[in-house]
Amino acid sequence: MNQGNSFRTELLPHLFRQEYARMTAVLCRHFGLKHIEVAEDIASETFLKASELWAVNGVPENPSAWLYTVAKNKTRDYLKRVNIFETQVRGEFERDTPQIEPETDFTPQTIADSQLAMIFAVSNPDNPGESQICLALQILCGFSIEEIADAFLARKEAIKKRLFRARASLRKNEFQISQLQETVVKSRLDTVLRTLYLLFNEGYSSRSNNHLIRKDLCAEAMRLALVLIENPLTNTTRTNALLALLCFQSSRFEARLDAAGEIVLYEEQDKSLWDQELIDKGNYYLVNACSGNEISKYHLEAGIAYWHTTPAEVDKWLHVLSLYNQLILIEYSPVTALNRAFAFAKVHGNEQGIKEAEKLNLNENNYYHSLIGYLYVAINIDKAIIHYRKAIELTKSPAERKTLTRELERLILRQG
């Protein structure tokens, strides 16, 4: 038994996130998406009961099993109540309560299947990207509205609004969650992968200063990607490429922030902090990803991330540039264009890199100015300073502003 207060601050929030999402997924599959609130209520009540009882009696040996038993009983009670209401109170009124088996089961297989189905239910191509991630965070990852607001640096009200719309479309969508059909998998897998990709990016390059939340976002994206890998229907080369990308990126998670929470530039990172285990996993999934003929944007990004785990290779930047050339053909984005310009400078020198970057016409983009500023440092320090100033003016991220200001001060000192 685990007495004391630590469960309130550590164990319970962790368990809550992990098990709440699983429980909701299983119950939702049981009741149907129309009744997602019922599923969430049962899950919430279960956790309320846990927090009350565990505070007095201590945490049971197997907390998850305990939670599932309580959830199972609550489900049975709910269905009994509904049934009494249906037969004795409401009588001949039209029934729209779920017609389902009274027993839920929480075997590992059911949990895995339910979670997979839930990922697909949430990934509706009609929802805008940002609501998509909010919904995924709430339903798939068990994040509270405060935590989501923190991750997005948005106000709680704004997140609530976003969730409200997304949840309404989830209920109305009539997505068949009970059995995941192959046709649905085919038509929605791309949206699913995109959702996980955005989820990860939200954590990796988040506007939030909350290091823990950011790490959780990344970990959740990887966990969900792993759920896809474990099912033959969704274990495609594209899925493997995405997971490889997430592994490679995560391997540098600890190295890219210093003790004060400031961003450490790639070239200044302590490479001993790179997580070799994640790099190995990335390699494994990248090999799987390359077993077919397909080259998706995830393949290319995973390829680029792979090269970034190899600090000293001779032709590294040539490979990286070539991958960026292909990536920008698949999908234009200012970030890709700027990263490509950086790789171009690495291959052809800073002067050529500046010319290439200046063609991009991204004057209002803070990364554009920090890139050009960086490239100018060795060539023309006055111009470098002008661009760094512009970047500081444009950036919205406090962490980045700090890093850029530090750089700017160094340049001003050197300028003398």
Partner 1 sequence: MKEFVLIFRLNNHSDFKPSPEQMQERMNWLGSIAAQNKLADQGNTLSSVNARTVYPDNVVTDGPYTEIKEFVSGYIIVNTETIEEAVELAKANPIFKIGGNIEVREVMVRRSGL
| Binding-site ranges for partner 1 (CB under 8 A) | 318, 321-322, 324-326, 328-329, 332, 336-337, 340-341, 344, 356, 359-361
Q: State in angstroms the smallest separation of the CB of 197 from partner 1.
A: 20
For residue 198, the minimal CB distance to partner 1 (Å) is 21
Q: Which is nearer to partner 1, 264 or 318 (CB)?
A: 318
Nearer to partner 1, 173 or 326 (CB): 326
Closest separation in Å from C-beta 328 to partner 1: 4
Q: What is the 3-state secondary structure (H, E, C) of 143-190?
A: CCHHHHHHHHCCCHHHHHHHHHHHHHHHHHCCCCCCCCCHHHHHHHHH
Nearer to partner 1, 244 or 341 (CB): 341
Question: Between 215 and 316, whose beta carbon lies closer to partner 1?
Answer: 316
Structure tokens that stand for 236 in this block? 């495609």
At closest approach, how far in Å is the CB of 370 from partner 1? 17
Minimum CB distance to partner 1 smaller for 116 or for 327: 327
**Residue 222 Cβ vs partner 1, minimum distance, rounded to whole Å:** 30
Instruction: For residue 37, give the nearest of 176, 222, 170 by alpha carbon.
Output: 170
Smallest gap, in angstroms, from Cβ of residue 205 to partner 1?
A: 20
Query: Cβ closer to partner 1: 271 or 359?
Result: 359
- Decide: 91 and 140 in contact? Cβ < 8 Å: no
Minimum distance from CB of 369 to partner 1 (Å)? 17
CA distances from 140 to 37, 80, 186, 199, 242 (A): 14, 28, 20, 11, 18
Strand partners, 2: 59
Of residues 53 and 360, the one with the C-beta less far from partner 1: 360
Closest contact distance (angstroms) between CB of 136 and partner 1 is: 29
The least distance separating partner 1 from the CB of residue 394, rounded to whole angstroms, comes to 19
If the CB atoms of residues 285 and 367 are measured against partner 1, the closer one turns out to be 367
CB of 341 to partner 1, least distance (A): 7
Q: 370, 318, 325, 306: which is closest to 345 by C-alpha? A: 318
For the chain, the maximum distance between any two Cα atoms, rounded to a whole number of angstroms, is 88
* Residue carrying structure tokens 């998998």: 185
Nearer to partner 1, 318 or 411 (CB): 318
Closer CB to partner 1, residue 70 or residue 327? 327
Residue 2 φ/ψ, nearest 5 degrees:
-110, 90
